[in-house]
Amino acid sequence: MLTIDSLSKSFDKGKNYAIEDVTFNLKAGHVCAIVGESGSGKTTLVRLIAGLERPDHGSIAMEGKVIASLNKFVQPEKRKIGLVFQEYALFPHLTILDNILYGISKVKHKKQRAQDMLDLVGLDDMGSRYPHQLSGGQQQRVALARALAPEPSLLILDEPFSNLDTMLRTQLRNEVFDIIKKTEVTVLFVTHDTQDALSVADEILILQNGKVIQKDVASNLYVKPSTLYVASLFGSTVHINKNLQNAFRCPLKETCCHAIRNEKIKVNPSPDDFDCEYLTTAQVIKKIELGDSIQLLLKLESGEQLTVITQDKNIADTINIGFNSKDILEFDQEQ
């Protein structure tokens, strides 16, 4: 449905690339999350897709038709893409109903369609209000209704929940995606929050420094991350460098890069009931209470420092830690 081929965009004539050589496909009806830190190029990528920026290289095609390439550019207003902006971008001088009506054209029952959209997002009695009279969550839903009203073939959500506090965020995220599921629209969902991505996306695309690092279904990203960076996005991770390999006496392939998730490091398995393949002793430098668990800052004999989390409240000053080879993550190159 959406095909992106070696797309590049630079804002300083090629010195730095906001988006570099991005290639991917999106299937109709899928929800794809684009995950990356701020500055990774997420917003530039969606602006390119929406037609608000023009690519320096590569092409974008929708439903088999090229909408942007080196010599072709389809105006944003001709693309049939719905976009929900981070800051909602509701028209402040129009009522909620007029905001939603704004994009609907060539439909006989415009008013009815707009009212249906209001019903869909559960704001049926708010049509005559102005944006500033609504709460952040309500504005968010209006923005969604407005984007869905012209029946776009692709809906893009650009960090739609980043302006909301955590409590509201989870609730609204579920609400929004319940609404979206009803419409069966294809969705690109931009976020810096992996929790957001994991909970709603069919597949996730990881962007770092403008490049696609990995694109996969959610479960694979956790189990088979392609780089250390991707691994650390989905839970804190320790890079098993040469020193750690020596400390744990676990020789690993030199051509690869290895890591272990902190949660997979076992604390205090007594040498007697020994279920860890690799083991070492460590000195506890600091204990941080986290409520139901404790975070430990450890110092290994080799001098390396490491943090682990344990439920065990009785921690001696020197403890044993270890992990198993099945939990080791292996990457092609060091990132």
Partner 1 sequence: MRQGGNKNKAFSLKTRLTRLKRDSNRWSVFTLAIVLFLALPIVFIGVELFSGPGETWGHIVEYLLPDYIWNSLYLVFFCSILVLVLGVSSAWFVSRFDFLFRKQMEWLLILPLAIPSYIVGYAYAGIFDYGGSMDLIFRQLNLDFVRIDIMNRAGLAFVLSISLFPYVYVSARAFFLNQANNLLEASKMLGVGEAKTFFKLMLPLARPAIVAGLVLVLMEVLNDYGAAKYYGVNTFTTGIFRSWFSLEEPQTAVYLSALLILIIFALILFEKWQVRKVKFTSAKSNSTQIQRKEPKGAIKWGIFSVVLLPILLGFILPVAQLIYWAILTASTVFDFRFIVLSFQSFGIAITSAIITVFFALLLIYFSKWSALRFIKNVARVGVLGYAIPGAVIAIGIMIPTLALDKWLIKMLGNFGIDSGLIINGTLIALFYAYAVRFLAVAYNPIDSTALKVDNSIPDSSKVLGVGNLKTFFKIEFPLIKTGVFSAVILVFIDVMKELPLTLILKPYHVDTLAVKAFEYASDEMVMEASIPSLFIIFTAMIPVIFLNKLLIKR
Any contact of residue 253 with partner 1 (CB under 8 A)?
Answer: no
Q: How many residues does the chain have?
A: 335
Q: Among the candidate windows 146-154, 177-185, 230-238, 297-305, which touches partner 1 by CB under 8 A?
A: 146-154
Told to check if 105 binds partner 1 by CB under 8 A, we report yes
Choose the binding region for partner 1 from 68-76, 182-190, 294-302, 321-329 (rule: CB under 8 A). 68-76
Question: Which of 205, 208, 165, 206 is closest to 187 using CA atoms?
Answer: 205
User: Which of 60/300 has CB closer to partner 1?
Assistant: 60
The binder of partner 1 chosen from 127, 150, 160, 322 (CB under 8 A): 150
Give the SS3 label for residue 78.
helix
Beta bridge partners of 189: 33, 157
Task: Specify the stretch interacting with partner 1 by CB under 8 A; choose among 64-72, 119-127, 214-222, 251-259.
Answer: 64-72
Return d(Cα 309, Cα 316) in angstroms, integer. 14
By beta-carbon proximity to partner 1, the closer residue of 202 and 216 is: 216
Query: What burial class does residue 298 get, using C-beta atoms within 10 Å of its C-beta: 0-12 exposed, 13-18 middle, 19+ buried?
Result: buried
Per-residue mark of binding to partner 1, 72-91 (x: CB under 8 A) = xx-xxxxxxxxx-xxx-x-x
β-strand partners of 7: 22
* Residue 92 within binding range of partner 1, rule CB under 8 A: yes
CB 67 within 8 A of CB 60: yes
Q: CB of 90 within 8 A of CB of 133?
A: no
The residue ranges that bind partner 1 (CB under 8 A) are 6, 8, 10, 13-14, 17, 20-21, 50-52, 54, 56-58, 70-73, 75-83, 85-87, 89, 91-93, 102-103, 105, 146-147, 150
